[in-house]
Amino acid sequence: MKIIGLIFLSFLLFISCSTKRVKPVIDKSIKTEQLPSQESWNSIITFSDSGKIKAILWAGHLTKFDEKRETLMDENIKVDFFNQQQVKTTTLTAKKGRVDEITNNLFAIDSVVVFNDSVTIKTQEMMWRNKDRKIISDKFVTVLSPKEKIEGYGFESDQSLKNYVIYNITYVTRIDTTK
C-alpha cells in the first residue's frame, strides 16, 4: 500500500511540473523616475559638520528621490538642533517634512511646533535654512513665552529661538506671572 501511495505521489509531482515559463505582468504606466531610490522606516539621521553634531532627525518613514534631489518624510518627524558646544538647544516636531538635498534646507509641514526651554512656536509650515541656520515661516504663527503670547504672519529666528522677529503681528497679550 505504501509503494502504491509513493508511486501515485511521484506521478502527481511529475505531471504538475511543467517546462512552460510564466511571464509576470508588467505595469507600464509606472514611471521609474517617480519611484524612490531609497525608502526607510523608523529612521534616525545625524547632521554634522567638521565632526560636530548640528542636528538629529527622527522620521517614521523616509523616501529619497535621487532625480528630484529631495527626501520626503512622514509619520511624524522630530529634529533636535545643537549649538557649537553640541548641547541641544531646540526641538522641532511636525507631521511631515521634506529635505532639499541641493541646499540641505528642511521644510516642516502640518502641525509644526518648535520649542526650547522658554519659547514655543506653532505654525502649519516652517523652513530651517541650512546656510545661516535660521528658522523661517511666512504662515500664521503663534509664539508663546513665559511673559507673552504673540500671533502674526511671518517669522524668522535663529535656530535656538533666542532672537526672533514676527513680521505682521495680529495679536499680543502679556501673561501675568505674579498670580
Q: pLDDT digit string (tens) for 56-112?
A: 999 999 999 988 899 999 889 999 999 889 999 999 999 999 999 999 899 999 999
Q: What is the pLDDT of residue 19?
A: 61
Q: Is the pLDDT of residue 137 over 70?
A: yes
Reduced to 3 states (helix: H, G, I; strand: E, B; else coil), residue 120 is strand
Q: Which residue has the cell 505682521?
A: 168
Q: Is the pLDDT of residue 18 over 80?
A: no
Q: What is the mean pLDDT of the chain?
A: 88
Distance CA 58, CA 94 (A): 11
pTM score, whole prediction: 0.77
Q: Is the pLDDT of residue 131 over 70?
A: yes
Query: For residue 151, which of 167, 128, 163 has the smallest C-alpha distance?
Result: 167
Instruction: Map out the domains of the chain with their CATH numbers.
Output: 38-174 (2.60.450.10)
